[in-house]
Chains A and B, each alone.
Chain A
Amino acid sequence: MKESLLLILVMLLLAPAALAQDMAHEPWTCPEGYEGQTLSIFNWSTYIAEDTVPNFEEACGVTVNYDIYESNEAMLARIRQGNPGYDIVVPSGGTVQRMAEEMLLIPLDLEMIPNVANVIPDLLGAAYDPENEYSLPYQWGTVGVGYSTEVFPDGITSWHQVWEHDGPVAWLDDRQTMLGIAHLFLGNDPNSTDPDEINAARDYLIEKGGNVVTVAADDGQVLLERGDVDIAIEYNGDILQISWDCECDDYAYAIPEEGSNVWIDNLSIPVDAPNPELAMVFIDYILDAKVGADLTNYIWYASPNQASIESGYIDEEILNDPAIFPPPEQVANLFAIIDVGAEAEELINNAWDELLIFLGQ
């Protein structure tokens, strides 16, 4: 009896808030004239909410084909061989630049995407697409440090704690990110293309990597979970995943104060898309405050949508998690990876091979 009373009380308290929300936001409406058409989406696996596509189909009266991929390279390879009929792809930052250079993307008509106004201004105009000619942000995240809270009860705030830790550490097999972090310490551009600077970054990492037991492709979080390492440099989502899996406080994620890598995945339209107009309508739909919030509430990545965040549609738990939404003072220190061009790419790959050889010496 007491509980049901409490429940009613809570509902009464929450109802006005919910009402206010509904009144504040008009549901997204589809422009006229697309009924019966088809849209083909090519997206990363497990990267969309269950109702995102069905709601769009209903709102516009269209049919959506949905296909998935596992890496930028896999998607790029498909589009390079000739677009098999996709209208939407979701490339990460550097890949947007590369696809644009190879003329594999169609320019966006921002007039057809009024919801671009909802995007966090800091996430627009990134170095890989300064005018947002080819891309708009879909979701974003960071590379940081996953660590055992037992070993680090006071947390990790600096990369120096990682370099100086007397115990096993796993690094991330992401050459541009790792060299970029070294560039930060050396006072260079994280996307430096200068041969001397790249080699200096390599030497810095070799010097600081004495405690590195493995450079993990994408399973650093597993090593952390099993106690084989005390620290794993990883993508935020991977560390969050083991925390949710164990429902415990044994692991934490931090972005060191010196800065780290921010990655942004983007909505883009590949060349020869059969229906670019509907694709732009879809991008506008994704950037709607409510749609974007529902998406983030489902997949637990950071939303680039200012309106979604301000409207309160995103769950408090996600919004207040600094591992998902880093505080503004941290965002200021994050660098994005850009495409450095063929020459620097070779220098970076060579430096990375040499790093792998010398880390085990």
Chain B
Amino acid sequence: MRQNGFLLALPTIAWLVVFFVLPLVIVLVVSFMSRGRGGVAELPFTPAHYERAFGIFSIILWRSIGLAGLTTVVCLVVGYPLAFFISTRRRRLVQQIALFLVILPFWTNFLIRTYAWRILLGEQGTINGLLLSLGMIDEPLTMLNTQFAVLVGLVYGFLPFMVLPIYASVERFNFRYVDAANDLGANDVRTFMRVVLPLTLPGVLAGCALVFIPSVGAFVTPDLLGGTKGLMIGNLINNQFGGSGNMPLGSALSIVMMAVVMLSLLVYVFANRRDAGA
């Protein structure tokens, strides 16, 4: 039986080894090699790229972590009430329509949607046009090519990843606990903080991980919306693999970014454990 189990898992294991472990090992090895002509990897081994990654590139790494963190917070603040609203609708059909609307943007290509933000946020864009014609501002606001634009783009892009897991959590939540808390004299705020939030925390944590991880490595959004001020680590990694880049440095930056993601996953696992234990 045990052997059968192993046989059944074999395709998955083979898949993971060939397409996950092996590439990861290659990236790790390349990240310690020297840069050759045209940006390819060469011997001898050197830690120089990590020195650079933790040196000057750390400015952008911190910016990426900051922007991703802010994106996660905004998604949570916007997404939690939304998920709560959807999952507490009485009629199943209303829930389904609302969920459908959350997922609907995925029907359009992400690149096209991000380009659309360029038109919305531009100096002579839709938003500035509207505000100017309403007389709310005298000068167009500079929104495009700022960190604000990147934040807007990231929140817009990843909000569904926050809403869906929280929805699943709230849906499973037994609202009789709320009645019980109320009966025992807890007000609404206290009930939420002590009963609802802890019991829906797994969904919140999953949502945060699903938003934070892709945000840290975002590349298209800062490329199109961020300009020089919204440059993120994903753009610099992409540069290293461009026509005249530096594969080993790009690999080192990728490894550092992966370490950041791993750390945030560890936080997630740890928080989940404690939650389950409590």
Contacts and interface: CB of A to CB of B under 8 A. Distances in A.
A357 B60 CA distance: 7
A212 B145 CA distance: 10
Given A356-B228, A357-B60, A213 B145 contact: yes
B37 interface: yes
Contacts of A209: 228
A213 B227 contact: yes
Given A168-B145, A228-B145, A349-B244, A359 B228 contact: yes
Contact-residue bracket for chain B: 20 to 34
B56 A360 contact: no
Contacts of A227: 122-124
A346 B246 CA distance: 8
Contacts of A73: 243
B207 interface: no
Interface string B207-241: 00000000000000000000111110001100100
B142 interface: yes
B170 interface: no
A55 to B, nearest CB: 34
A227 B122 CA distance: 8
Contact-residue bracket for chain A: 20 to 34
B228 A213 contact: yes
Contacts of A175: 244
B59 interface: yes
B56 A357 contact: yes
A355 B125 CA distance: 29
Contacts of B231: 356-357, 360
Contacts of B229: 213, 360
Contact of B36 (A342, A350, A360): A342
Interface in B7-61: 35-37, 39, 52, 56-57, 59-60
B245 A360 contact: no
Contacts of A226: 119, 122-125
B206 interface: no
A206 to B, nearest CB: 11
Contact of B243 (A71, A213, A342): A71
A35 interface: no
Interface in A69-118: 71-73
A175 B39 CA distance: 15
A349 B245 contact: yes
Contacts of B119: 226
B230 A360 contact: yes
Contacts of A361: 59
B222 to A, nearest CB: 10
B230 A356 contact: no
A90 B144 CA distance: 37
A38 interface: no
Contact of B236 (A168, A342, A356): A356
Contact of A214 (B36, B57, B145, B245): B145
Contacts of B228: 209, 212-215, 356, 359-360
Interface string A327-361: 00000000000000010011001100110110111
Contacts of B60: 357
B56 A354 contact: yes
Nearest to A361: B59
A257 to B, nearest CB: 26
A354 B125 CA distance: 31
Contact of A353 (B122, B124, B236): B236
Nearest to A226: B122
B153 to A, nearest CB: 14
A11 to B, nearest CB: 46
Interface of A: 71-73, 168, 175, 209, 212-215, 226-228, 342, 345-346, 349-350, 353-354, 356-357, 359-361
29 contacts: A72-B243, A175-B244, A213-B144, A213-B227, A214-B145, A214-B227, A226-B119, A226-B122, A226-B125, A227-B123, A228-B123, A228-B144, A345-B37, A346-B35, A349-B39, A349-B245, A350-B52, A353-B56, A353-B236, A353-B239, A354-B56, A356-B228, A356-B235, A356-B239, A357-B56, A357-B231, A360-B227, A360-B228, A361-B59
Across the A-B interface, give the 8 residue pairs with the lowest CB-CB distance, nearest first: A214-B227, A213-B145, A227-B124, A73-B243, A360-B228, A359-B228, A360-B229, A342-B37
